[in-house]
Chains A and B, each alone.
Chain A
Amino acid sequence: MRLDMHSEMILDEYRAQLPVFEKLKSVVLEQLGHCLKENNIIVSGLEARVKTENSLAGKLELKGYKYHSLDDITDIVGARIITFYSDEVDLISGLVERIFEVDWSNSVDKRKMLETDQFGYMSLHYVCRIPESVCKLPEMPELNRVRFELQMRSTLQHVWANMYHDMGYKSDVEIPVEYQRNMNRLAGILELADEQFSLIRREINDYRRNVQSLVASGNFNEVPLNGDTFRSYLELKPFQRLAEKIATINQAEIYEDSLMPYYKVLYLMGMRSIGDIENMRNAYSEGAYQLALLQLAGTGLDILACSVALQNLCIVYILKQGFGEAGLIKLFDLLYGESGYNAHRAHRIYEQAQKINLIQ
């Protein structure tokens, strides 16, 4: 590649400033990572790079005449945030504006550049600087002077841009017109999919909020049993009192384990609403305690998993429903996986239940 003298001078300047670019890249990544974490935002990707000498030389060969100096090239350091949903781009750009100094005259919202009948590259590009308030290195003052480019786009926007780029095109002006229409059709499909994903997520969030308030209101019979409702129900700690009562048998400490594995079990036991679980809890808590008393008294075992309460409730429910040892084996198969031991355990519990008149 042959460059004119002006471009060669820019390349020399690039080589001299490479340590600044590398440092800038790491500060940008660190700041963005910290900001996302602080705001509990999970993104699909966060990446940054320093433009390679070859890539810069290629750019200078094509349009070196546009740049007076290296400072005019704002994407030597480039970072990219790829969000899961398109509506998160604006949320993140707001946060970025709080951390970095945005050079508005060189920033561009490519999402707004398309006319209503156009589909194509959608991304938000900010040209920024690191303000001294965020990071200041006395030995490297250029760190606050050099600009960098930050691209923000959704995963699907990223897919489109990547495929486009993979075909060897950096700008939609270059693509042969006969293929332009097909690329634009794909952009339209992805834009629609992006919008639908955001919509579905919003609806799911609304549903979860409604479920939480329904569960909190105590209208359990109206709440269908599913993973979301069961999780909300567990937040009320419905089995805590029983666990604490069982713990008094040996003055045991309670280890809080997850009860979510019981969702599938309860569903397969025929529970279809949170009300069904409540009915089980109200009807069989005493039986579950009596079973624990028989099993734990005199053992000196003074640590219990919180789930022992729900485990015993399920056992008593199955016995009271008349499902017998076979029902218990099925319960243990579901909870712990199939094994020959489950039959032994079911038989032993069946005998214990008879002793305390849980079953006749």
Chain B
Amino acid sequence: MEVIINKQEGKTLVELKGRIDTTNAEQFQRDVNPLMEADQLDIDIDCAGLDYTSSQGLRTFLMLQKSVNARGGQLVLRNMNPMVKEVFDITGFSNIITIL
């Protein structure tokens, strides 16, 4: 699992690669923790390289969403492959998080 964070034009751009599962979910949370304290409001996550997410991954996305919203910003997930998108759909998380 790889998390690449860049800042560009007032936005935080994040690129995810690999799988978020029970073996690395905690690491994923530690990797994105700085984003919950960052002063940048909007976070844009490119999920093109994300192959799978478990419930723990969903929880981390949810925490990130709450943190960004509390600061008045917006979290956007984009370029999800259909398998990952299905996880968001069948859990109702597509209703909570903006997915483009």
Binding site for B on A (CB under 8 A): 252, 255, 257, 261, 292, 295-296, 299-308, 311, 335-337, 339, 341, 344-345, 348
Contacts and interface: CB of A to CB of B under 8 A. Distances in A.
Interface of A is mostly: mixed
Contacts of A307: 92, 95-96
A248 to B, nearest CB: 14
Interface stretch (B2-10, B26-34, B36-44, B80-88): B80-88
B89 A303 contact: no
Given A255-B62, A336-B99, A308 B92 contact: yes
B interface SS class:
helix
How many residues of B sit at the interface, in one of the four size bands?
10 to 19
A341 B92 contact: no
A295 B90 contact: yes
Name the residue in A300, A305, A344 with the highest tally of chain B Cβ atoms < 10 Å from its Cβ. A305
Most B-side CB within 10 Å, residue of A292, A300, A308: A308
A305 B85 contact: no
Given A292-B90, A348-B86, A303 B95 contact: no
B54 interface: yes
Contacts of B89: 345
Nearest to A345: B89
Contacts of B99: 336
A126 B99 CA distance: 54
Contact of A299 (B59, B85, B90): B90
20 contacts: A255-B96, A295-B90, A301-B54, A301-B55, A301-B90, A301-B91, A303-B55, A303-B58, A303-B62, A304-B91, A305-B96, A306-B92, A307-B92, A307-B95, A308-B95, A311-B95, A336-B99, A345-B86, A345-B89, A348-B86
Contact of B90 (A308, A336, A341): A308
Interface of B: 54-55, 58-59, 62, 82, 85-87, 89-96, 99-100
Contacts of B94: 335-336
B95 A261 contact: yes
Given A257-B96, A300-B54, A300-B55, A305 B86 contact: no
A341 B55 contact: no
B59 A335 contact: no
B47 to A, nearest CB: 12
Nearest to A294: B90
Given A296-B90, A305-B91, 12 more contacts: A257-B96, A300-B54, A301-B91, A303-B55, A303-B59, A304-B92, A307-B95, A307-B96, A339-B100, A345-B82, A345-B85, A348-B86
Contact of B82 (A257, A311, A336, A341): A341
B33 to A, nearest CB: 19
Contacts of A306: 92
Given A255-B96, A257-B96, A301-B54, A308 B91 contact: yes
Contacts of A311: 92, 95
Kindly list the 8 A-B residue pairs having the minimum CB-CB distance in the complex, ordered from nearest: A305-B92, A308-B92, A295-B90, A307-B95, A307-B92, A303-B55, A302-B55, A257-B96
B22 to A, nearest CB: 9
A299 B93 CA distance: 15
A132 B55 CA distance: 56
B95 A257 contact: yes
A295 B82 CA distance: 14
A154 B7 CA distance: 45
A341 B95 CA distance: 15
Contacts of A301: 54-55, 58, 87, 90-91
A344 B92 contact: no
